[in-house]
Structure 1
C-alpha cells in the first residue's frame, strides 16, 4: 500500500524493488536500487539511501534516515539516523525511562533518537534504547541490550566493551582496515 499525495510524495529511485504487503507512507524517499522485502513498512519523512535493503517484516518509522548500502531488519524507531554500510538486525526504542519523553507528540518534548554510524554492525535481536551513539565500525553482539554509547571500532558484548583490534586476524566484518 502506498499512501502518497502531491503534498506527501513517495519518491522512488531507479531499480527500486518492493515486495508483497509493503506499506509506504509519504513523504519519503527511496534511493536507487533500494529493496524492501515482503511485509516491510516505511513511515513518513524517512529516507533510505542507495542500494539499502529492508528485510522481511522490517519496520522503519517516521523521520528515519538510513544511509547507502545498509541491511536493515527488525524495528527502527522515529528519528533514528543510520550511516552508510551498516548492518542492523535489531530493534530501536526511544528512552521511555524519563516520564514525558516517550515522544514529542505527548507533550512537545523531543525524545532523543539513536545514531548508528558508518560500518557499524548491530546483531540479531539486539535492543538499542534511547539517545545512544554506536560508533563507526562498532559491533554489537546478538541479543544485547544497549543502554550506553559504543565507541568506534569496539565490540559490545556480555563482557562489556572490547576494542576490535584485539580480534585482528580472527574476525572480519563491515569495518575498514584496523591497522
Structure 2
C-alpha cells in the first residue's frame, strides 16, 4: 500500500500500560463513524499493515488502541510518534454542501485565456485569502482563490476554471 492510496487519521502519542495499548492523537473528524479492522502505520517511509484488536475513542481527539501481535510495551514503543493511515476506500465522501475551496487540491486549473495551467498541487491558507499553487511550464505559479478569479468549478470532472489577471503568468515566467 502506498501513501497516495491512504489518508492520514492521526499519530501514536505514547504507550499506555505494559500490554501494548497505545494512546492516539486523532486529527481526522468523524473517525469514530468509520468501521475498520486494519490500519497502516508509516515506518521508515513505508506503510506497514496492522490489524486492530480494539479502539476506544476518548474526548479531545484521543483514542486508545490495541493492535494484534502488539501485546507488550516493547512491541508498542517503536510505534510511538508514527503516523497512522487508512485506505482511501474507507474515506467518507463529502456531501456537495460540505465542499470548500480547500477541496480544490488535485483539481486541474484552466485559465480562460491561456488554457490548462496544471494540477493544483497545494492550497495555501493566509489570513486574507486562500492561494492555489500549480506547476505551469516548469514554474510554480500562485494565484488567489476568490470570486474575481474563479469563473467555474466542475466537481465531477475536477476542473477549476479561472480568469487570471493579465500579466500574472508573465511574472512567474521571467
Whether the TM-score (by the shorter chain) exceeds 0.5 is: no
Indicate the structure whose relative CO is greater, using CA pairs within 8 Å and at least 6 residues apart: 2
TM (norm. structure 2) is 0.25
TM (norm. structure 1) is 0.25
Which structure: greater helix fraction?
A: 2
Which structure: greater strand fraction?
A: 2
